[in-house]
Amino acid sequence: MTAVIEARGLSKSFGNTHAVRGVDLNIEPGRIVGLIGPNGAGKTTVIKAILGLTAFDGELKVLGLDPRTQRNELMKEVCFIADVAVLPRWLKVSQALDVVAGVHPRFDRKRAEEFLAKTDIKMDRRVRQLSKGMVTQLHLALILAIDAKLLVLDEPTLGLDLLFRRSFYDNLLNDYFSKERTILVTTHQVEEIENILTDVLFIQRGKIVLDAPVETLGERFVQVVPSAANVEQARALKPFHEREVFGRFAMLFDGKREAELAALGETRAPSVADLFVALMSRDDGKAVAGAKEAA
């Protein structure tokens, strides 16, 4: 199966600042991948490289194309939503549909109109008259109406309230299941998207520190809250993260069998958010055992 995004040694520096350092990626078709990391981790730089918006070192293929030399061809197959909508504020909603229909041969105007009919957005309203949530909905309607193979979302719901965020991801999922798409999304709201992801990519200081299918996380990682009498015994097994909550300690292990740890206390599979906090809290910047680490 040909990867939708394949990178080897992807790197980008701004002067003496290394924004991305030797990143390897292999994203298969039909996946929903979360590229997750704190501010300044390199998420947006990776996205810009994928979209052909910045120069980079290393090897990168997107849908079999080189973003540096084949960007025009690539953009026929890729759609993008950024955290800040770029639609002109004077533009009417109906005119926005006209513009996209005029420049993209694979734009389905009827599909965009059907999407907008489910919202409070009127065709005669100007962008400046819409709330930020409505502008995002309009942008999503334009993007989802294009028959593209790859959808790239960079903090798409930043600044939106809960209702708009929930509606956004519901619509995104409905579109995903009705078409053959691959989705790459960056966000800080890990809890909100972890249930829709098929894969996670954690990035820190320009390096990938975790690259795994979500379905395998429960097999690899175990969280233990040991009884007071077993705290030191649990620590002796070398958890890669520990935190204290209401006087009890929660410890995360990688590669330990749950049956092996159950005698120490309460065990469960950690959430994606749990793993994110744990890995971003490490001082050494190293990947957990078994994760891909940039060379």
**Per-residue pLDDT tens over the stretch 195-217:** 899 999 999 999 999 999 999 99
Could you tell me the maximum CA-CA distance found in the chain, to the nearest angstrom?
A: 70
pTM assigned to the model = 0.85
Quickly state the pLDDT bin for 82 (edges 50, 70, 90): confident
Q: How many CA atoms lie within 13 A of 172 on its CB side?
A: 27
Q: Is the dihedral of CA 261, 265, 266, 272 positive or negative?
A: negative
Q: Span 62-86, mean pLDDT?
A: 86
Q: Is residue 23 a part of any domain in this protein?
A: yes
In this prediction, residues 275-282 reach a mean pLDDT of 87
Asked whether residue 17 falls in the same domain as residue 147, the answer is yes
Element at 215 (helix H, strand E):
helix 214-220
Tell whether 92 and 135 lie within a shared domain. Answer: yes
Residues 222 and 170 in one domain: no
Give the length of the chain.
Answer: 295
pLDDT band at residue 84 using 50, 70 and 90 as cut-offs: low
Specify the CATH number for the domain of residue 176.
3.40.50.300
Examine the pLDDT at 292 and tell me if it is beyond 70: no
Kindly indicate the confidence band of residue 85, based on its pLDDT and cuts at 50, 70 and 90: low
pLDDT greater than 50 at residue 193: yes
**In this structure, are 145 and 259 located in the same domain?**
no
Verify that 222 and 201 share a domain, yes or no. no
Q: What is the pLDDT of residue 156?
A: 80
Q: How confident is the model at residue 286 (pLDDT cuts 50, 70, 90)?
A: low
pLDDT, mean of residues 101-114: 90
Residue 264: helix, strand or coil by DSSP? helix
In sign, the C-alpha dihedral spanning 26, 32, 36, 42 is positive
Are 220 and 92 in a shared domain?
Answer: no
Task: For residue 283, name the pLDDT band (cuts at 50, 70, 90).
Answer: low
Give the whole-number percent of the chain exceeding pLDDT 70. 94
pLDDT value, residue 187 = 80
Residue 295, domain member (yes or no): no
Domain extent for 244: 214-280
Highest mean pLDDT among 56-65, 103-112, 113-122, 148-157: 56-65
Average pLDDT rounded to a whole number, residues 51-71: 95
pLDDT over 70 at 126, yes or no? yes
1 — pLDDT class (breaks 50, 70, 90): low
Q: Are residues 31 and 147 in the same domain?
A: yes
* Mean pLDDT of the region 258-281: 91
Q: Assess whether pLDDT exceeds 90 at residue 29.
A: yes
Whole-number pLDDT of residue 295: 32
Do 192 and 227 sit in the same domain of this protein?
no
- Whether 233 and 175 map to the same domain: the answer is no
Q: Count up the domains in the chain and report the number.
A: 2
Q: Is the per-residue pLDDT at 28 higher than 60? A: yes
pLDDT at 290: 41
Of 46-50, 64-68, 78-82, give the lowest mean pLDDT range: 78-82
Task: Classify the phi-psi angles of 140: left when phi > 0, otherwise alpha if psi is within -120 to 50, otherwise beta.
Answer: alpha
Pairing of strands 5-14, 17-27: antiparallel
Q: Could you count the other beta carbons within 10 Å of the beta carbon of residue 21?
A: 19
Q: What integer best gives the mean pLDDT of the chain?
A: 88
Which ranges constitute the DSSP H helices of 71-206?
A: 71-74, 93-103, 109-117, 132-144, 162-178, 190-193
pLDDT of residue 291: 45
Domain co-membership, 37 together with 172? yes
Using CA atoms, how far residue 202 sits from 157, 199, 208, 209, in Å, is 19, 10, 6, 6
Structure confidence at residue 91 (pLDDT): 93
- Please check whether residue 83 is in contact with residue 155, taking contact to mean a CB–CB distance below 8 angstroms: yes
Same domain, 93 and 154: yes
210: Cβ–Cβ under 8 A, 6 or more apart, which residues?
200, 201, 202, 275, 279, 287, 288, 291
In a domain, 166, yes or no: yes
Co-location of 137 and 239 in the same domain? no
